[in-house]
Amino acid sequence: MNKRPTAVSMFSGCGGFDLGASRAGVDIIWANDNDPHAASYYRELLPSVKFCEEDVTEIKNFPDGDILLGCYPCTGFSLGARRRWRDQDDRDLKNDDGNFLYEDFLRALDQVNPKYFFVENVRGMKSAEDGWFFDKQLDGFRSREYTVKHKLMYAEKYGVPQARRRIFIVGVRNDINLDYQFPQPTHGPGTPKKYVKMESAIGDMELWPEGEYFDYQFHGHYLTRNRKRGWDELSYTIVANAHHVTLHPMGEPMEKVGKDDWELRGNDNRRLSWRECAVLQGLPQDIEPSGNIRDKHRVIGNAVPPQVSEELVSQVVEFENDSGS
């Protein structure tokens, strides 16, 4: 019987990435996040994992593992956040301490010395400060004797019913004889499977689930662009901010009435519920995040769809099994 490779997980959130890695054949032995609502969800999702609910900067020792996983916070790298800062005060990303949490990942990398590591972040990380942050991370990984590859991946190409783009970085320690290749798409053009659309994912769920969606006015910024896609389309990206959660596909489409100006049509307009967002993220709908509706959307929206991480990690598991490590 093959021994399952072990993984240490940082910035674990509610456990989306770890769930996919577990399905691929990895034993997650330790995970960490300081968000109590994410921690509560994670403990239900992966109850056998030792979970450390603490600020990562306060953690001095990390356990050993074959793989290190890290989805460090991405707010400062998001294109939307940078647009808002430019509109306000031309904020410098380098002055935001939250953008340097990758240094704690490097600190853990030094301690754990894993054979492999996986990092996920928003695509804006690659262009933030003209690539300064991205290059600093790659330099840090390579200086620790890892061969590093990165790719912008499209979640819908792996069976996720939403258009979601994220950067993934994969590192293989230089003494490991694996030429890692990013997985080929399993869904969409050129594959045997079609994209999974919203009707297939959430078409049988309750249309007006009381208390499960953010029932707040659609403010001016919300109406600057189209927020509704139809049943036969992919969902827009599931986001962590309840105010900006996109619309349920029922009812009439929105109509563009001017530059950066859209209007709602009909009466069947509400934001997606947190439970629908969970399904569109590939998470189980029977686990409810703790906290208020904003907390629920934040926890679900920050997750990595497990279908993507399962595909990413499978190659490493197969290599470990074949090599008898």
Residues annotated catalytic, as ranges: 74
Distance CA(7)–CA(15), nearest Å, equals: 13
Distance CA(293)–CA(312), nearest Å, equals: 31
Q: Name the H helices within 96-212.
A: 102-112, 124-127, 132-143, 198-202
CA angle in degrees (0–180, nearest 5) for 298-299-303: 110
Chain centre to alpha carbon of residue 230: 23
CA–CA distances in Å: residue 300 to residues 85, 273, 313, 322: 25, 11, 21, 35
Look-up of token digits 């399962």: 310
DSSP string, 41-72: HHHHHSTTSEEE-S-GGG-------SEEEE--
78: left (phi over 0), alpha (psi -120 to 50) or beta: beta
Q: Give the three-state DSSP class for 94.
A: helix
CA–CA distances in Å: residue 57 to residues 45, 123, 275: 25, 24, 32
Q: Name the H helices within the chain.
A: 16-24, 36-45, 79-88, 102-112, 124-127, 132-143, 198-202, 274-281, 293-301, 306-323
Return the amino acid letter for 113. Answer: N
